[in-house]
Structure 1
């Protein structure tokens, strides 16, 4: 079966990110990180809705009560879609004004795992965090640009990348609280920069390579199983969704973040769909209070 690439919607975001499929309402959410907005549309790309935010947003996940949890420039917030208000619930890095919170996902136990990034330099002083019922703990430090946390189907492995380094890391991820053990290097890459990631129902890891417009599918052992070329270079993240969980949704940048990067065509910023993969994903867990 040959994969087919289409466009779900194009809201012309500065930096499209963090697609999340709501299996209850069969709608897709995503954010414009720098444009400070949340978007939502149906599986057909219509009934588009947008909400404005007061700060940049790195990622979002849905909560059990229908709200969203947001990793933002100024801390972790709960967002109420009914009122359009975001409530600060934690700021894990109050002493790092040059940092912002970035990619995040909910683990299999309903805890929000997210990373930070140093937006003003290359010092590896960012970290990976976990929020459990309002309490934040530091899982590991020593990163510069946290990206792509995602979890194996059984929750025993956490996959992660520091975009400044060409390698995908796997952490043993247990039930206990506290810092993570030293990671294993799952795969080392050549061209492109690692951005968002997700895991399918077979336990394989899908990773975006931004800058070269490619998507990788890796086995749990790190073997490359599939490489897809996208119509734009600056893709950012991805998730499975659709009524059968067999559509891959891919977000992208509206324009490159650096002036020396080539600009994409008119499709830059679109949310793309990939169908015909013959592979299904997993419904993402919701954050538990």
Structure 2
């Protein structure tokens, strides 16, 4: 009897160990000096992301296990990349404070701006668009940050909503660095990060109107003194409603239960500047993670990684409806 119980407990321990283990691996030739904005395109089984300060677009092809890179002609910045619904070679890209429609076949080394979708803060030349995503209905959500000067001192950024046939709306002002975004349809929530607040906020979200209300702090990364504060950056969510919070300078992604604020898992990386994450792969169970190589960080800084063995699944990216 005791012998059988031993084997049962051993088997359970082994199963739990497998469930809680994860593996971090680099994608081949995936370097981006300031990698950001990972977006999993389910139809093309590809991960799109940007190299912000190089004006670069990147596409990781899952089937080929290969990364394709392109420079946007005439544009020094690319804050995000969002595929356009029904137009397989067109993408919305944040170029400075403009959202441009960019044409790219996903293979060529150059991409071309074909028209402007909209512009924000035209007079604030020291600002630029940063992270952006589409909500589950295909609306644009994204914001700005101080690009020249101290973004922690000059909170001149804003968070915006835009949808086809409408005007740009300001969702939130007094933003330092507009960053991570995620939605949970089951809980009717929208999650948002302003890096300079050192926290993740939840909002009640009306998916029919796109209106966010009632902000509440659900995860706080402040430490004992400002120099120890962790910097929350990009954000994604799994199908159980748990958040994955990237930490710039923290070498970690925190898996967090937003209902309790409890950290469920710390995913560690061999580089410090973790910028964002998105679930992808054929089963949506691979966490793709972008990083940066700012301020002379050594290799493998700037590498894009895949994390497997998390025993979690997420959602594919949503195309922007224009």
The CA distance in 1 between the partners of 2:63 and 2:294, in whole Å, is 25
> Which structure shows the bigger proportion of residues in helix conformation?
2
CA distance in structure 2 between the partners assigned to 1:109 and 1:3 by the alignment? 32
Is it true that 1:73 corresponds to 2:106 in the alignment? no
The residue aligned with 1:255 is 294
Give the corresponding residue for 2:126. Answer: 98
Partner residue, 2:24: 5
2:140–2:162: 8 Å Cα contact kept in structure 1? yes
Deviation at residue 152 of structure 1 after TM alignment? 1.2
Residue of 168, 171, 181 corresponding to 1:136:
168
- Contact 1:8-1:44 at 8 Å conserved across structures: no
Q: Would the aligned equivalents of 2:246 and 2:276 in 1 still touch at CA under 8 Å?
A: yes
* Shift in CA distance, 6/58, structure 1 to aligned 2, threshold 3 Å: same
- Superposition deviation, residue 216 in structure 1: 0.6
Cα distance in 2 between the residues matched to 1:32 and 1:217: 25
Partner of 2:5 in structure 1?
none
Please report how far the alpha carbon of residue 12 of structure 1 lies from its aligned counterpart in structure 2 after TM superposition: 3.2
Are the counterparts in 2 of residues 29 and 39 from structure 1 also a CA contact under 8 Å? yes
For the Cα contact (< 8 Å) 2:190–2:212, is it kept in 1?
A: no
The SS at the match of 1:164 is helix
- Find the residue that maps to 1:58 and give its secondary structure: coil
Q: Which position in structure 1 is the counterpart of 2:34?
A: 15
Contact 1:31–1:59 (Cα < 8 Å) also in 2? yes
The answer to whether the 8 Å contact 1:108/1:155 transfers is no
Out of 265, 269, 290, the position equivalent to 1:230 is 269
> How big is the shift at 1:270?
0.7
- Which of 233, 239, 244 is the matching residue for 1:201? 239
C-alpha separation between the residues in 2 aligned to 1:45 and 1:5? Answer: 19
Q: Equivalences for 1:48-127 in 2 at 5 Å? A: 48-53=67-72, 54-65=75-86, 66=88, 67-82=90-105, 84-86=111-113, 87-119=115-147, 120-121=149-150, 122-127=153-158
Offset of residue 275 of structure 1:
0.3
Structure 1: gaps (5+ residues): 257-262
* Count of residue pairs the alignment pairs up: 283
Contact 1:250 1:273 in 2 (8 A): yes
CA distance in 1, matches of 2:122, 2:141: 18
Q: Post-superposition shift, 1:9?
A: 2.7
Verify the 8 A CA contact 1:197 1:205 in the aligned structure 2: yes
Q: Say whether the 8 Å CA contact 1:9–1:45 is kept in structure 2.
A: no
Contact persistence 1:112–1:287 (CA under 8 A): yes
Superposed CA deviations along residues 36-57 of structure 1, whole A, max 9, x for unmatched, are 1101121266443222121312
Mapped partners of 2:208, 2:42: distance in 1:
29
Instruction: Find the aligned partners of 1:285 and 1:12 in 2 and give their Cα distance.
Output: 25
Contact kept in structure 2, 1:137 and 1:178, CA below 8 Å: no
If the length of structure 2 is used for normalisation, what is the TM-score? 0.82
Where in structure 2 are there 5+ consecutive unaligned residues? 1-17, 224-228
Per-residue deviation, residues 229-274 of structure 1 (Å, max 9, x unmatched): 1111011111000011000000111333xxxxxx543211111010
CA contact (8 A) 1:55 1:74 kept: no
TM-score of the pair, normalised by structure 1: 0.91
